[in-house]
Structure 1
Amino acid sequence: MKQNNIIKATADDCVVTYRGNIVENRHQVHAAIVDANGNILYTVGDPSRVTLIRSAAKPAQALAILETGAFNHFDFDDADLALMCASHNSENVHISRAQSMLAKIQARETDLRCGGHAAISDAVNKSWIKAGYTPTGADVSDYHLPENPMQSLVTSIVEDLANLKEDEVKWAIDGCNLPAPAIPLYSLAQMYGTVAAAADLDEDNNSQQRPENLARIFYAMTGYPELVGGEGRFCTRLMTTFQGNLVGKIGADGCYGIGIRASEQTRKLGTGTAIGIAVKIEDGNIPVLYSAVMEILEQLGIGTQETREKLADLHHPKLLNTAGVEIGHVDSAFNLRAVS
């Protein structure tokens, strides 16, 4: 992995929120942009920051299901695969899909170990409250435990995709009760670059099974973006807007991974491969994360201006008070630094 000549972080590596014309907050940004071979192309802040990637690890977890053969054994389809990679709104389309998947494996909701969550979507959550729904916990099982064979496979896959040794990956417990890996940002970027590179492989080139599985994950997420997030969600809007050219997935507390297929735009960045992007906002602010991701895509020249303009409300969000009055705005102070 090329890490020479990386310029250290500066005070300007941030997204700034203004109230009126007064700086209210500076949100530190860390990012790594790599090619599919893991060579670092551009950075912001500390590209080696060890980061709990949270739900940005879900494509790796889904890959484990593909590699065990369970995916085909239980007759899952690509829409199911998209939901496996999701942090969704709990809309009816998500709930019905999840219920169908449980039925395919003859499991019940009480077999789940994720515990009860409020819906991410405020609208859905309010409708649940009105309907008298109360999220509950789940019966005990052990699929979520680190020593479970499935979690051991996930551990191995994360190490492989991140190009890290066992002692270079740290682990904690995620909000959904599964093991959550912590890896350097440049390794998260490589994971997503690898997923995008798999989608670039010729379907007739007799590629190995893992690249084929990674390509299937890419196409499932980009083919069913509404299942990965939902109405109004950044992941859904991003993948819909870029029309299959990139895959993107949020991780809780301000982490994001993107894989972009090789194109003339990526070649202008000095690589002939797909690229991966990983972003972390130091204070975990999610709206700031979306703004930073869009700023990075703009500075890299990914997508047309017309394409990016469709996400302008996320790139430069207006800050409103409770009366709906615009009281501030968000802007980026950082500039990507090329790694020579």
Structure 2
Amino acid sequence: MPEGSRVVVITGASGGVGRATAREFASRGDRVALLARGEEGLAGAAEDVRQAGGTPLEIPVDVADFDGVDGAAERVEEEFGAIDVWINNAFTGVFAPVSRIGPDEFRRVTEVTYLGYVHGTKAALARMLPRDRGTIVQVGSALAYRGIPLQSAYCAAKHAIQGFHESLRCELLHDGSGVATTMVQLPALNTPQFEWVLSRLPRHAQPVPPIYQPEVAARAVARAADRPRPREYWVGGSAMQTILGNRLVPGLLDRMLARSGYSSQQIDEPRPGEPANLWEPADRSGGRDYGAHGSFDERGRAVSLQQWAARRSGRLGAAALGGSAAAGVLAWRLVRRTRRLPR
């Protein structure tokens, strides 16, 4: 293996952000353990890693099963050596109003999207803490701060991850640990989730524009793994605006989302049929490898200006630049929209 290569574990590695992130680390010559349920997607991800210059290890596992995740971590260390980076990314969700999501569906989303992160983190800590080194990256979302309509189960799980991450970070700082954790808050992305997430919407679900390509997220996750000491990274101007807007005027955002949140999450096409990946991997029935990208390539942005500034101006300068720009854009948009809101 190339000198300086690392052992990286990625959950939810068979598609979307996880798939793109696997390629990003593989391009550095890293050994990449790929954890996911879907065997077709895992096989495709493994081939991507090989093509990019890394060494893959496919491990089929449901992150809702702690014993399975812990066993996967044990296998990684047996075959690759000590885990350097653990990336929690696996998720599922339901597109529907709260009234149309069953209790069992809320439970399943929570078990995968929140407890899956807990399970991955605990498996990583059990091996990293005795060595006093390692990095855990939690792949988050602007929706960890701002709930939106039609995604209540997912938003709730991301909020829970945010609280979990903050508690863990405080504990690691208290102990003076060499283990680091950080969180990457992502914008809307062109991933296959809009083809495979269980939906009860009348039309095809879409990411709330602007839409970024999954490689934007992958570069941010890799950067966070390289420099994990900041408590979190915000990716994309839209994520920054959402987080800042929720801090400044959350009640106004409630009304704005009540007005536009349904239409902005759907396009004028029929919703996809089954399979949905809530209970089993979407590639199981059709034998399809969904890859990293969804069906919105024509609208996907390959670069984030905010991320570009972060790489070139330093974290604090980029934060100031991005924060000022986001605050200005947010204020302008709110002034324009306030008069049109329902009373």
Higher relative contact order, chain-length normalized (CA < 8 Å, sep 6+):
1
Length-normalised TM-score, structure 2? 0.25
Length-normalised TM-score, structure 1? 0.25
Which protein has the bigger helix share? 2
Which protein has the bigger strand share? 1
